[in-house]
A and B are shown apart, each in its own frame.
Chain A
Amino acid sequence: MSGSPFNPEGPNPDPAGPDQHPEETGPAPTYTGRVRVTSPLASAPRHVRRTVRQEIDESTGVGEVYMRSLIRSQLRAALTVVITLLLSLGVLPIVLLTVDSVATYRIWGVPLPWLLLGVVTYPCLVVLGWLYVRQAERAERDFAELVEAVGDEDPQDPA
C-alpha cells in the first residue's frame, strides 16, 4: 500500500502532484471552458503488447524461457518414470539374488518371483504409463493456457 494515493504519508506522489492534498486545496475553482480530462497514464509511453506466441516464434529470450520450462517439466516427468523403474525393476535381480527369503517366499504354493515377474509387473507398468500421460498432458495444457491467455486477454492487464 505504500505507493497508494490514499496514503498521505506514502513516498510516491499521487498523480495530482506532491503538494496538492485534497484537504488543503480549498474550494474547487470554476472553469468556463472545456477541459481535456485524461488519465496520467495516457501520456506514458505506450505498452507494446507482445504475445508469448510471438516471443516463441521469434526465438526471443522470453520465448526461450517459456520453451525451456516446458521441455524441463516434460523431461522431469520422464525421468521420474525412469527413476521409479530403476528403483523397482532395476534392483529386483539383485534383491532376488541376495535376499533368499524373498526369492523362495510362496503364495498359494507359487514362488513370489514368478508372481512378481509373470503377473504383477504388467499392471504396474500400465499404471506408471497412465500417470505419466496424465502429467505430460497437464504440463502441455498449462503451457497452452499460458501462451494463449497472455496473447488474447484484454489489454488492461499489464502482465
Chain B
Amino acid sequence: MNTTYGIVAISLVAVATIGIGAFALRFSRTTSDFYVASRSVKPWLNSSAIGGEYLSAASFLGVAGLVLASGANMLWYPIGWTTGYLLLLVFVAAPLRRSGAYTVPDFAEVRLQSDAVRKVATVLVVAVGWLYLMPQFQGAGLTVRTVTGAPGWVGSVVVAGIVVVNVVLGGMRSITFVQAFQYWVKLTALLVPLFFLLQAWNDDGRPSPVAPSDWVDPFTTTDGPGLYLTYSVIAATFLGTMGLPHVVVRFYTNPDGHTARRTTLIVLVLLGLFYLLPTVYGVLGRVYAGDLVEAGRSDAVVLELPSRIIEGSMGEVLAALLTAGAFAAFLSTSSGLTMALAGVVGQELTGLDRGRLRQRRLSSISALRIAAAASVLVPLGLALSAERIAVASSVTFAFALAASTFCPLLVLGIWWRRLTAPGAIAGLVGGGLAAGLGPVLTIVAHPDGWFGTVMSQPALWSVPLGFGLMIAVSLMTRDAIPLNVARTMVRLHTPERLDVDRRDRASESLASPGDLP
C-alpha cells in the first residue's frame, strides 16, 4: 500500500477531529456542557454520534475479517450488535433518560439508595471500559504499522493522545460533534470504495468466491459446541449493548425520554445501513484475497482489497479512504469510552451529588480532565505491554461482562419494584466474576473440550446467573426495598409533559387529603 496516501489520510482525520473538537469548544461553557452536552442534543445529531461511537474497529475491520475467515456464521456478530440497540430501546432508553442520573452508578444509587451498589457499579464500569479500550489502542497500532511501517506503539500513542486532548478540551459537547462526523466518515469510507470494487468485480466476469463448502454452507456442519458458541454470542451481544458505559452515557444527552426513543430508532437505521457493507467486503475477500486467511491476517482484508482489485493510483486512493475510516473508528470509539470513564471516575473524585450537575463548578471540570488522562493511561499501558489478543474476542469479553452485570441491574431496576441493594450487589459481583473468570481461565490454562468451549464464551450461563442472583437475594432481603421506590417508578415511567412530583423523596410538604376543600 502507498505509504504517503495512508499518512495523509490518517493526518486528515486526526486534524479534522481536533478541529471539530476545538470548534465545538466555543460552545462548551458549563459543567453540564462537559458532562452531558447540556442535555440538548437533537435525535439526528445524537444518533449519528452514537453510531460513530459504537462502530469500533471490531465493526469496521473485524466483521469483514471474520466473514472472510469463517463465513456466514460470523454474521451473528453484527446482528447482535444491532439487536442490542433494539433491546436497549424497549427496556432501557426512555426510563434511563428520565431517571435523571448521569451514569449507571448514578442510576444504581438513585434507584436503590445505596452507596455500596454505586461503588461496585463504578468498579465494573471501569473494568468494562478498559476491556473495550485496550483492543482499540492495539488495533490502532496495527493499522498504523500496516500502512506506514512505523512501530506498533506509534498508532496507539497517537490515538490515545488525540482522544485525551479532545476530552480535556471540550468534554461531551465537543465529543458529540466529533462522533457524529466520524459516523459519516466511516460510512462513506466503506460505501464509496465498494462501488468501484463491485464495478471491477462485474467487469471481471463476476467470479465466485473460492472457498471450501463449509464456508458457503457453514450451518449444515455445525456441531454442539458451535451451536453453544452461536447462542453465547447472541446472549452477550443482544444483552451487553445496554450495559456498555459509552453507550449508556449517550442517553443522558437527549432532552427527554421521547427523544431518547427517537434517537435509538434512528441508531437502528444507521447501524443496519452500515452492517450491510462489511459482509460484501468479506465475500469479495474470498474472491480476490483468500490468501489472507492462511497468512492469519484476515482483519486486513478491508484495507488491502482496493489495491488488489483496482490497478494504479485509483486503488491507492481508495485504500487511503478506507484507512481514514479505520482510523476514525479507533478515534471515535476510544473517545466515547474515555469520556464515559472520565465521567464516572470524575464524579467519584468530586462526589457530585447524584448527577445534579451544578453550573460552573470548575473543580468538577478539572476532575473530569484528570480522570480522562488517568482512564486512558492504564489500557494504553496494557495495550503496549500485553500479548496481543484478537480484537473481536477482547471486545466480546467486554460485552459478556456488561451483559452479566449491568443488563440485570438496568432491566430489573427499571421494571421490578422488589429489587434491593443487597440483591443488586450479589448479581453484579456474581455475574461479574463468572463473566470475568471464564476468559481469564481460557487465556491462562487453555482448557479443552466442552469445558473450554463453555469457559471461552461464558455469556450463555453468566447472564442467567447474574439475573438469578439479583432476583433470589432481593427476594431474601425484602425489608431492604427502598422506601421511595414508588416515587422512583413515577419518575422513570411517566412522560415528561405530565407535571407530577419527581423528587427523590416523598415530600411531606404536600397537602394531605384532609386539607383539600
Q: How far is the CA of A107 from the CA of B499 in the complex (A)?
A: 55
On whether the beta carbons of B82 and A133 are closer than 8 Å, the reply is: no
Contact with B90, one of A77, A121, A140 (Cβ below 8 angstroms): A77
Answer whether residue B89 sits at the interface, using C-beta atoms and an 8 A cutoff: yes
Contact with A96, one of B79, B219, B261, B264 (Cβ below 8 angstroms): B219
Q: How far is the CA of A118 from the CA of B218 in the complex (A)?
A: 14
Minimum distance in angstroms from B458 CB to a CB of chain A? 18
Q: How far is the CA of A85 from the CA of B513 in the complex (A)?
A: 47
> Chain A contacts of B79 at CB under 8 A?
89, 117, 121
Q: How far is the CA of A87 from the CA of B79 in the complex (A)?
A: 15
Minimum distance in angstroms from B265 CB to a CB of chain A? 5
For chain B, the bracket of interface size reads: 35 or more
Answer whether residue B487 sits at the interface, using C-beta atoms and an 8 A cutoff: yes
> Chain A contacts of B499 at CB under 8 A?
53
On whether the beta carbons of B264 and A129 are closer than 8 Å, the reply is: yes
Q: Which of A20-28, A33-41, A66-74 interfaces with chain B?
A: A66-74
> Chain A contacts of B219 at CB under 8 A?
93, 96-97, 103, 113
> Chain B contacts of A148 at CB under 8 A?
498
The residue on A at minimum CB distance from B258 is A137
On whether the beta carbons of B494 and A97 are closer than 8 Å, the reply is: no
On whether the beta carbons of B265 and A133 are closer than 8 Å, the reply is: yes
Chain B residues 71-99 with CB under 8 Å of chain A are: 72, 75-76, 79, 82-83, 85-87, 89-91, 94
Chain A residues 19-64 with CB under 8 Å of chain B are: 46, 48-50, 53, 56-60, 64
> Chain A contacts of B238 at CB under 8 A?
85
Q: How far is the CA of A81 from the CA of B93 in the complex (A)?
A: 14
Contact with B495, one of A59, A93, A128, A144 (Cβ below 8 angstroms): A144
Q: How far is the CA of A70 from the CA of B495 in the complex (A)?
A: 10
Answer whether residue B366 sits at the interface, using C-beta atoms and an 8 A cutoff: no
Contact flags A103-117 to B (C-beta < 8 A → 1, else 0) = 110000101011001
On whether the beta carbons of A81 and B83 are closer than 8 Å, the reply is: no
Q: A118-B72, A136-B261, A137-B258 are in contact. Are A57 and B501 (CB under 8 A)?
A: yes
Answer whether residue B272 sits at the interface, using C-beta atoms and an 8 A cutoff: yes
Contact flags A121-153 to B (C-beta < 8 A → 1, else 0) = 111011011101100110011011001100000
Chain B residues 273-288 with CB under 8 Å of chain A are: 273, 275-276, 279
On whether the beta carbons of A71 and B89 are closer than 8 Å, the reply is: no
Q: A53-B499, A57-B500, A103-B220 are in contact. Are A118 and B279 (CB under 8 A)?
A: yes
Answer whether residue B516 sits at the interface, using C-beta atoms and an 8 A cutoff: yes
Q: Which of B150-158, B226-234, B308-316, B386-394 interfaces with chain A?
A: B226-234
On whether the beta carbons of A97 and B227 are closer than 8 Å, the reply is: yes
Q: Which residues of A contact B (CB under 8 A)?
A: 46, 48-50, 53, 56-60, 64, 67, 70-71, 74-75, 77-78, 81-82, 85, 89-90, 93-94, 96-97, 100, 103-104, 109, 111, 113-114, 117-119, 121-123, 125-126, 128-130, 132-133, 136-137, 140-141, 143-144, 147-148
- Contacts A70-B493, A117-B72 known; 7 new A-B pairs at CB < 8 A: A57-B501, A58-B510, A71-B489, A75-B415, A77-B90, A129-B90, A137-B261
Q: List 22 A-B contacts (CB under 8 A).
A: A46-B517, A48-B516, A70-B493, A78-B91, A81-B86, A82-B90, A94-B227, A111-B217, A113-B217, A114-B72, A114-B75, A118-B72, A121-B79, A123-B272, A125-B272, A126-B265, A132-B89, A133-B262, A136-B261, A140-B495, A143-B498, A148-B498
